[in-house]
Structure 1
C-alpha cells in the first residue's frame, strides 16, 4: 500500500482497495476468458504467457472455481470476495465459462465493494497489527523468515516435480 495512505481515513482506503480489486478482478476475468477462447481457437498457444495461463487454467484451483461457479452460478462471484483464496479462481472460472458480462459485472461490483469495505476497516487493521507484532520482536522476524524460506523451498520442489513429470532435466 502506498505510504501516503498510512493512517488514512476510511474513504481514501476504500477508494484504494476498490481500485486495486476492480483492476485485479477484471484482469483475471478477461485474461481467463481470452486464454480460454485462444485455447479453443488454437490447438497450441504460441505466446509463453498464454501457455502459462493455459496451464494454470487446467489446474485444480481453477477446477474448484469452475465447480463453484457451476453449482452457485452468478451468486458465487460476490461470495468469493468474502473468503480468502477464492476470489481469483471463481472470477477466472467465470471467464472460462464465459459468464455473460451483463450478469457478471453487477455481481463483481458487489463483491468488490464488500472487499474494499472489509479491507478499509478491520481487514487492513488486522493485517497491519499482525505485521507490526511480528516485526517488532526477534521471534516474529524469525517466524517470517522461516515462512519465506518454506515458501521458496516449496516453489523449488514444485518446479522440479513439474520438470520431472514433463520429462525435462532438472
Structure 2
C-alpha cells in the first residue's frame, strides 16, 4: 500500500480525515445529549465504557482527548463524551487538533509499515498471513470477551445524563 503523493500531503489528508470524524462524533454527542436517552443511542450512552469515558473526560478534559488518539476505539467514546458533556470548543479544538496530528503521523508511518509487512508476508507465505490473521481475530475476540465479563461484574455507574449536568 503506497501513496503516489508526497509524505506531507498524505499526513495532511489523514489529518483532515480524522479531524472530520472526531469533530463529527463530538457534534453528534453535543446535538443528541438531551434527547439521546430516548433513542437507540441510549444503549451506547448507558454502557460502562461510555460512563468511564464521561468520567475521564470530566476529570481530565482536553489532555484525555489528545491522548485518546493513541488508542483504538476509546477515542470515539471520548469524542462523543466530550460533546455530550459540552466541553467548550476553546478547550476541545486544540486538543482534538493535536490528537489528530499525532494520529495522522502514526498512521502515516507505522500504520503503512504494518500494511507493507503484511503484504510482504502474504507474498512469501499466504498460509502464514492467514494464520496470523486468524490468531489476531481470536486474540481480539478473547480480549473483548474478557472485557465484557469484567464490565458485567463492575457496579453500574450513574446515568450519563446525571454525570453530564
Query: What corresponds to 1:88 in structure 2?
Result: 76
Pair 1:32-2:29 in alignment: yes
Deviates more, 1:127-136 or 1:66-75: 127-136
Shift of 1:144: 2.0
Identify the match of residue 128 of structure 2 among 130, 139, 145.
139
Task: Output the TM-score relative to the length of structure 2.
Answer: 0.71
Shift of 1:54: 2.3
Structure 1 unpaired stretches of 5+: 46-50, 159-170
Could you say what secondary structure the match of 1:37 adopts?
Answer: coil
Distance 1:134 1:92, change over 3 A: farther
Structure 2 unpaired stretches of 5+: 149-165
Higher relative contact order structure (alpha carbons within 8 Å, sequence separation ≥ 6): 2
Pair 1:20-2:17 in alignment: yes
Shift of 1:110: 1.3
Q: In 2, Cα distance between the equivalents of 1:150 and 1:84? A: 15
Q: In 2, Cα distance between the equivalents of 1:118 and 1:150? A: 23
Shift of 1:28: 1.0
Distance 1:39 1:110, change over 3 A: same
Distance 1:134 1:62, change over 3 A: farther
Pair 1:98-2:86 in alignment: yes
Is this contact kept in 2: 1:35–1:54, CA < 8 A?
A: no
Is this contact kept in 1: 2:25–2:76, CA < 8 A?
A: yes
| Cα-to-partner distance string for 1:131-163 (whole Å, 9 max, x where unaligned) | 2245332121234256558879x89xx9xxxxx
Task: Output the TM-score relative to the length of structure 1.
Answer: 0.69
Pair 1:55-2:43 in alignment: yes
